[in-house]
Structure 1
């Protein structure tokens, strides 16, 4: 007991009170500091950073949604629509409105055909969709009959809706594919390119982009400018109301120089043959017709072509995906003889009185090899006129060797060979205009005299596109004036129509009027004289034309062998070519035709050119404005 009282007596109350006071003051101090910090933060948030946090809050409440523009339409020269924005119907389902999804899908499948794989994909989409109030497409491109069936049964299909949307449509299908091109879904590569070009914002809400032809070349004009909707949403992202709206600006319409009826004429004239037809208006080289056969339906790509259909096109031995007009590469054969003759006259290697003897073959001095003429027994004595009219090979073998490849390359470059013509589609090959440097760079071999012999008749390493042939022919028709080929005549907006001017290049200089006329006269003789290689095809024409036939070897024939088409596989048979312009004195159109593996340019290609010219002069009077009166826009 004594010990307990002693311990109690030893407590220091003053010390304990002092410790308590110190702790209380420290706690109060901490509370004050923390309160001050809180007040400072509240001031910063509520006053200093008010606008920033208000913007963030609005960002959660207000969304800006893109409104994609309508794509510009494409018309032919007479106002017929070549590329339209057509309405198509899709069946869409809002998951949150569906009580039993499997039951709904079963009902839909009983009404319209839907592939099982598509049903599986749809279920997977719905499974991973967070916003159940947003519609998911079950089937796109409903036929009118399917849309009607769904509409009639709408009351049984709660949560299913038919939506109408605009999508690109090409009413003429394969007739315009290689000229107009097509649009398709924006893929990863397209998205990366748009990002690099700083155009991502411009394509918000847009699903398609030009992939080929004019659709790709004039994408910036056709696409338009995106609009925006400012909407208020709830915490789940559902739109409550629209606050403001900026309408999108539609793309510009394009009016082309193409005549869709002339396209059809070209298609019919080629028939089942693989080949190309191109027709230019020589006053500015605007394109009247540009058709490559075979073709394909561009509408397949608009909604997403199936892998099965794409593989079918890709593996087709007739290569329908290739635009033969601008990408097909063919030996020009005898179609370049007029320009070779022009060079000979210009460089004074020959005159109108120069004659050579054609025994049916040509030999380089001290070389045993014989370069054969197409006429086995030869043409006898020939001059510049007869050599072009009857397509004498020996005359041009000799002329080419005397000119030399360097001079030939320099002169032919002025006519667009070995270069892009400048046409307003990206899918264009330069083909090959050979030279000493080109051969050494490719084969590590020097240029031989025998190479030049073959070049003299448009064979050997030389290749051209049908468009290059038409381009060069228009230069001859215009006596050296050079215009870039183009398909766009005018752009059209709500404010009016703006014509697109012709683009001229440096002309072919130094060639005399006399020499131009000699060549044009010789080309006229090709169709006018009874011995001309194109006479039969143009006999009885009501207009005066000029032209040149060509028959291009696809494979070499040995020195002692004869060409026999019946014994050669079709793909190795000769190609048929023809180039021409009309009228002779005042040219208005230039035509180039190439047909694969049918042989005989005069027999097969010239008749196609005749059909094109007949159509032109029957439907295009001297006054262009009169043409509009005779065309139906139905």
Structure 2
């Protein structure tokens, strides 16, 4: 056998190989450690601020805090709009795994209606997923307790306590105060366009109508914020920083709620409006439209059934008749027309006509009738206003012409917005040649002018316009802009705002003011005045003008018979007046739809309002009507 070969190990080579491998491993470990140290330095030093912010973002949230809405007081310090606490159930969609299942379980647990669920999904579709969406408003104490017992089952769902608007006087002040309601997509778009979206980050409601809408910027306030620490379930552990919101300003309005209640009582059962202005500065003491509705229905979201009933009612309660009702002014504008006739020398104080009950034009067969079929006999301008002689004003309108009439009446505010601090207002119609051509494509005829002479035809006015025009009369041309807002309410006191004044009405002969106002005094206090029965035995002297607005044409030779007409076609009753006569403090305008005679129906209501103002408010409407 051949001998075995013995392999002798090369320890030197093995040592070199090990050294090379160790060196390579060391290099790799060094590189990895360097990379780790570099990344650690990058994270802990270079990117410290960034990751610190992200870390805080996981445990720290900045939440907006809604400001308390300003309160509203009447001129005597009576609270008209306040804030009351309510509980609402809110869901944050991006914190909920299965939204539909969660909503269904909540609806079953708390007996939430299908309509509320539908409204939730409607709001959810228009909302960002990280913002809370309200599922149910005004939770009862029982519902709050039920949810609290099961809250662990509903991550992303919470009960929020907040203040919401409440109107203690209900429908008495609806059309003047308006109401607040949930911010919708249209509101949100307007806020975005105005750059105000951030200021409403925590606010649920916004002014929708009336003073609440017009003075939203004063009432809302400025949003605050709180920086809070939360746990991994999103629950707040503690508050780190708090920037308090700036509450909205409390405001005082010129409204006298007691007079407002008298107006509501007086209009019960009638469609119409009452407006009372302070003759000394244009402040709105009363602005009531009937029928009205409870604004509290809208604060938390009115039901479809209730809203449909309001929207489809034949009596149109959603319309503010005081500012949007367009009524033929009828004889209430005869003092204004008389002033124009005197000023432009178409008539003098001693100018007389003989009224035989009709007015006719040469070569025209149509006869314009006076309300008194046998006529008033010889009348001058004072008699014509006191007795409301139509024939005198037919003749006066014929002498003046439509151009003079429309141009002068515009100075009293007819055909334009009054400047009232409510958005819900109509300019109504002051007819002219241009208006008829543009509206109907027809020329103006003399017959059109004649009926305008008694406030009929296409001429319409709102009760606010009528009251404002009489304010200009009693102030000899000074035109105050009617204002609901009185001033900022601070520490129990009101900083009264300066009255707003428009361009005055110039009159060449100041005696003309006296002639017209004296005739209005005669309406209420002289033997043949059309308002004398309404103003018997008052401790104050007043002045006014009654009006009866015809709504449908009566054929020649026929007589007006209310019983034969549909109720909606019967005459409107109108009245304007002021008191005291010697030093006017208030101006009253009353409009009653389809109520009949202004002297019999509207005059007694004005009497009730004036009695309340002068401390004689115990007389009832029925007693006044029997006088």
TM-score when normalising by structure 2:
0.85
2:391 corresponds to: 394
* CA separation of 1:229 and 1:562: change in aligned 2, threshold 3 A: same
* CA separation of 1:235 and 1:330: change in aligned 2, threshold 3 A: same
Q: How does 1:513-592 map to 2 (within 5 A)?
A: 513-592=510-589
Q: Distance in 1 between matches of 2:145 and 2:432?
A: 68
Q: Distance in 1 between matches of 2:35 and 2:147?
A: 66
2:79 corresponds to: 81
Gap runs ≥5 in structure 2: 1-23, 618-627
For the 8 Å contact 1:409–1:435, the answer to whether it is kept is yes
1:19 corresponds to: none
Of the three residues 65, 84, 93, the one matched with 1:67 is 65
Q: Distance in 2 between matches of 1:535 and 1:558?
A: 31
Deviation at 1:342, TM superposition (A): 0.4
Of the three residues 455, 458, 468, the one matched with 1:458 is 455
Residue 444 of structure 1 pairs with residue 441 of structure 2: yes
Q: Distance in 2 between matches of 1:616 and 1:124?
A: 49
1:10 corresponds to: none
Q: Distance in 1 between matches of 2:34 and 2:507?
A: 92
Residue 350 of structure 1 pairs with residue 347 of structure 2: yes
For the 8 Å contact 1:177–1:298, the answer to whether it is kept is yes
* CA separation of 1:131 and 1:531: change in aligned 2, threshold 3 A: closer
State the secondary structure of the residue aligned to 2:461.
coil
For the 8 Å contact 1:388–1:523, the answer to whether it is kept is yes
* CA separation of 1:153 and 1:324: change in aligned 2, threshold 3 A: closer
Q: Distance in 1 between matches of 2:313 and 2:416?
A: 29
Q: Distance in 2 between matches of 1:264 and 1:124?
A: 39
* CA separation of 1:374 and 1:461: change in aligned 2, threshold 3 A: same
Q: Distance in 1 between matches of 2:575 and 2:605?
A: 9
* CA separation of 1:102 and 1:326: change in aligned 2, threshold 3 A: closer
1:147 corresponds to: 141
State the secondary structure of the residue aligned to 2:466.
helix
For the 8 Å contact 1:222–1:252, the answer to whether it is kept is yes
For the 8 Å contact 2:275–2:589, the answer to whether it is kept is yes
Q: How does 1:173-252 map to 2 (within 5 A)?
A: 173-234=170-231, 237-252=234-249
Residues matched between the structures, number: 582
Deviation at 1:490, TM superposition (A): 1.4
Q: Distance in 2 between matches of 1:502 and 1:405?
A: 33
Q: Distance in 2 between matches of 1:592 and 1:66?
A: 47
Provide Cα deviations, 1:56-78, integer angstroms capped at 9, x if missing partner. 44444432110000000001111
Deviation at 1:243, TM superposition (A): 1.4
Q: Distance in 1 between matches of 2:609 and 2:178?
A: 23
1:483 corresponds to: 480
For the 8 Å contact 1:212–1:427, the answer to whether it is kept is yes
**Which stretch of structure 1 is more off in the superposition, 225-234 or 174-183?**
225-234
2:607 corresponds to: 610
Q: Distance in 2 between matches of 1:131 and 1:364?
A: 75
Of the three residues 469, 472, 483, the one matched with 2:469 is 472
Q: Distance in 2 between matches of 1:106 and 1:433?
A: 56
For the 8 Å contact 2:106–2:112, the answer to whether it is kept is no
For the 8 Å contact 1:104–1:157, the answer to whether it is kept is no
1:286 corresponds to: 283
2:10 corresponds to: none
Q: How does 1:276-425 map to 2 (within 5 A)?
A: 276-425=273-422
For the 8 Å contact 1:147–1:162, the answer to whether it is kept is no
2:594 corresponds to: 597
* CA separation of 1:79 and 1:210: change in aligned 2, threshold 3 A: same
State the secondary structure of the residue aligned to 1:425.
coil
Q: Distance in 2 between matches of 1:399 and 1:125?
A: 61
Q: Distance in 1 between matches of 2:479 and 2:119?
A: 56
**Which stretch of structure 1 is more off in the superposition, 160-169 or 203-212?**
160-169
Q: Distance in 2 between matches of 1:483 and 1:305?
A: 37
* CA separation of 1:563 and 1:362: change in aligned 2, threshold 3 A: same
State the secondary structure of the residue aligned to 2:222.
coil
State the secondary structure of the residue aligned to 1:473.
helix
Gap runs ≥5 in structure 1: 1-24, 621-634
